[in-house]
Amino acid sequence: MRVLLVDDEAEFVSALAERLNLRGFEADTATSGVEALRKIDASPPDVVLLDVLMPGMSGGEVLKEIKKTHPRVQVILLTGRGSWDGIQGIREGAYDCLMKPIQIEELMQVMTDAVESGGQNQAQKGE
Amino acid sequence: MRDQEMAFVGKIAASLTHEIKNTYAIILESSGLLSDLLTFHQEGPFQHKEKFHQVLGTINAQVQRGVVLATRLNQFAHSMDEPLATIKVADLLELVVALMRRLARRRNVELQALAPDDREASFSSNFFRVLLVLASLVEALAEALESGGQIILQPVPDTPEVTILCEAQGAKAAGWEARLENLAASLQDFLAALNAQVAVSKAPAREGVILTLKTPAA
């Protein structure tokens, strides 16, 4: 599974990418929304793990752009706060929302579920 | 203006706790990566492998502890966001316990909350002021109780208003009731703003204090 990890905390995404790669994922990183969109345009991943609060282009703006240009790419939001950011993101097409810090086993499960869901997100599955 | 000041304090505190959680996330992923490398790579014997796993486990446990504290601090900071918020009773009691448990333990008093039957039960009020009143009551009860006592926060069921009993179990200092009544009087401005009242509950009823918020439960 190809995964793009997007967070302005470079040390966070690089360590997480190495951990996912050790487990058989193909993980790449981006430290801004603009870099993420460029990488997605060049080669769309299966899943994007996207931090909500980033300087410059916010996670919410990146999510909208991804859903507009690459609707099949699943997006999982990462937030330090949870609740509202996550609900809003899922309404706008994110598959799910995870709280920082994350558990790698949970992340792997959610990414697998996202890819297997065939484009539906948590809100649509509940309908 | 007071609400604006509180909102400002809350905003700054929430922003800082967000950054603290980011820091913890980096430490966790970095220690997780070291642990993975020890587990996944089996090239030759490594004399200190077990010790490394043990130390990384300690780092992980302490970071998780820090995350819980930062999350509680973040919730506390967000209590100042809005003058009127929807408050879940279960979340409120859990947060009071998280914020005040250490203070109670200093006096060797245990603090716990009993969840309401309906975990979704909520009401509208000023979250920060409700927290302030409940925390003040807990602090006063902890001071009134002898070592080994227990404070149990619990919603009183089947009441038309939001009613919370702070039950104090164990031996208490003489005159504890008067001290609690004095505290209630000193909180009068907050209680009036919340449309709430505090009453001391004496034997033979369960001893402690009862906070009643004259707002219907949702």
- Domain containing B144 — which CATH number? 3.30.565.10
- Portion 121-140 of B in contact with A at CB < 8 A: none
What total number of domains does chain B contain?
2
- At B159, list the tokens: 């009441």
Q: Same domain for B113 and B197?
A: yes
What pLDDT, on the 0 to 100 scale, is given for residue A117? 86
What pLDDT, on the 0 to 100 scale, is given for residue A20? 96
A35 located within any domain: yes
- At B28, list the tokens: 């966790």
What pLDDT, on the 0 to 100 scale, is given for residue B198? 95
What pLDDT, on the 0 to 100 scale, is given for residue B197? 94
What pLDDT, on the 0 to 100 scale, is given for residue A15? 95
* Chain A residue closest in CA terms to B27: A12
Q: Same domain for B106 and B53?
A: no
A121 located within any domain: no
The pLDDT tens digits for B159-207 are 889 999 999 999 999 999 999 999 999 999 999 999 999 999 988 889 9
Q: Same domain for B32 and B102?
A: no
Which residue, of B78, B109, B135, is where some domain finishes?
B78
A97 located within any domain: yes
Answer whether residue A83 shows pLDDT above 60: no
A32 located within any domain: yes
Q: Same domain for B59 and B110?
A: no
A124 located within any domain: no
Answer yes or no: are the C-beta atoms of A63 and A78 closer than 8 Å.
Answer: no
The mean pLDDT of chain A is 88
Stretches where chain B sits below pLDDT 50 are none
% pLDDT > 70, chain A: 87
Q: Same domain for B36 and B8?
A: yes
Answer yes or no: are the C-beta atoms of B38 and A111 closer than 8 Å.
Answer: no
What pLDDT, on the 0 to 100 scale, is given for residue B9? 83
What pLDDT, on the 0 to 100 scale, is given for residue A35? 97
Q: Same domain for B62 and B93?
A: no
- At A13, list the tokens: 């995404």
Decide if A115 touches B, using CB distance below 8 A: no
Q: Rounded mean pLDDT of A9-20? A: 95
B209 compared with A80, residue with greater pLDDT: B209
Choose among A9, A18, A102: nearest Cβ to B22: A9
Question: CB pairs below 8 Å between A and B: how many?
Answer: 47
* Single-letter amino acid, residue B130: V
* Single-letter amino acid, residue B207: E
A8 compared with B83, residue with greater pLDDT: A8
Decide if A80 touches B, using CB distance below 8 A: yes
Which residue, of B78, B100, B120, is where some domain finishes?
B78
Choose among A19, A81, A102: nearest Cβ to B36: A19
Decide if B61 touches A, using CB distance below 8 A: no
Decide if A19 touches B, using CB distance below 8 A: yes
What total number of domains does chain A contain?
1
Q: Same domain for B34 and B131?
A: no
Decide if A123 touches B, using CB distance below 8 A: no
What pLDDT, on the 0 to 100 scale, is given for residue B85? 87
**Measured between beta carbons, which residues in chain B are less than 8 angstroms from residue A29?**
none
Fill in the DSSP letter of residue B82: -
Q: Same domain for B104 and B36?
A: no
Q: Domain of A34: which CATH number?
A: 3.40.50.2300
Decide if B74 touches A, using CB distance below 8 A: yes
Q: Same domain for B123 and B189?
A: yes
Choose among A12, A22, A53: nearest Cβ to B29: A12
Rounded to whole angstroms, the Cα distance separating B75 from B13 reads: 10
Interface residue of B23, B28, B75 to substitute, partner A, most A CBs within 10 Å: B28
Which residue, of B78, B95, B119, is where some domain finishes?
B78
What pLDDT, on the 0 to 100 scale, is given for residue A84? 54
- At B6, list the tokens: 């509180």
Q: How far is B63 from chain A (nearest CA, A)?
A: 10
Q: Rounded mean pLDDT of A92-106? A: 89
Domain containing residue B186: 85-216
Q: Same domain for B99 and B65?
A: no
Q: Same domain for B68 and B127?
A: no
**Measured between beta carbons, which residues in chain B are less than 8 angstroms from residue A22?**
36-37, 40
CB contact under 8 A, A100 and B22: yes
A11 located within any domain: yes
A99 located within any domain: yes
The pLDDT tens digits for B101-111 are 989 998 999 99
Q: Does the reported pTM lie above 0.80? A: no
Decide if A56 touches B, using CB distance below 8 A: no
* Chain A residue closest in CA terms to B26: A12
What pLDDT, on the 0 to 100 scale, is given for residue B153? 97
Domain containing residue A65: 2-115
Q: How far is A21 from chain B (nearest CA, A)?
A: 11
**Secondary structure (DSSP) of B1-47:** -HHHHHHHHHHHHHHHHHHHHHHHHHHHHHHHHHHHHHHH--SS--T
Choose among A15, A22, A80: nearest Cβ to B29: A15
> Which of A26-35, A41-50, B6-15, B99-108 is predicted with the least confidence, judged by mean pLDDT?
B6-15
Q: Same domain for B59 and B143?
A: no
**ipTM computed for the complex:** 0.78
A123 located within any domain: no
